[in-house]
Amino acid sequence: MKEKPRLAVLLWSVLLSLSCLCACGGEQPGEALPPVSEEVPAGSPPAETPQEELSKPKDAVCRVSFGEYIVEYTLPADWENLCTVEMQLGGPDNYEVGFYHKASAEFGGWLFSLILFTDEEYLQFPETTAVASDGTVTLVCMRPSDVQFDLEYAEEYLAMSGEIDRILATVTLTGADGEMGDVS
């Protein structure tokens, strides 16, 4: 019986808080308002303000744990709503993170994968490139050898495919000992 009054007080507090937020338009006390923009003479391009710079989407630095190893990579900001990233276990010692074009999911949509191999098995697969190695494991980029996109979104898929090398340039492999792997 004592729980009902506590529940009523809790619900009342939540409702009161929500009504305050709605009345304030979601603004928090002391929250800074956006700066007032200055007039720009006609014909001149508007200068970028620091506020506009802050609101631009930033590339995403991602970290994935592959057992004892950490793989870090940077995805372009415009991939946020275009790409699905899936982590998979390819075997007892093989880890994989796959990148897929959302709009082409019906056709596979596979753009590429980063796969950690503990052996040289990756050499038998087509379209593979060693990205990093520490002598014990090799991080490999594998790309599709066939078409994986919806023709309606071919331009978008191909543009994303064209950015893969830029992403691979950001990849790092860090082992349990903290040492970074590199392709030798």
Task: Tell me the per-residue pLDDT of 11-20, one tens digit each, with 9 for 90 and over.
Answer: 333 333 333 3
Is the per-residue pLDDT at 113 higher than 90? yes
- Structure confidence by residue, pLDDT tens digits, 29-57: 333 323 333 444 455 455 555 555 556 67
The angle subtended at Cα 38 by Cα 34 and Cα 41, nearest 5°, is: 150
Model pTM above 0.85:
no
129 vs 4, higher pLDDT = 129
CA 20 – CA 12 distance, rounded (Å): 12
Encode 22-33: b = buried (16+ Cβ within 10 Å), e = exposed.
eeeeeeeeeeee
> Residue 112: enclosing H or E segment and its boundaries?
strand 110-117
Half-sphere exposure of 91 (CA within 13 A, CB side): 9
CB 109 within 8 A of CB 101: yes
pLDDT band at 145 (very low <50, low <70, confident <90, very high): confident
More confident residue, 2 or 27: 2
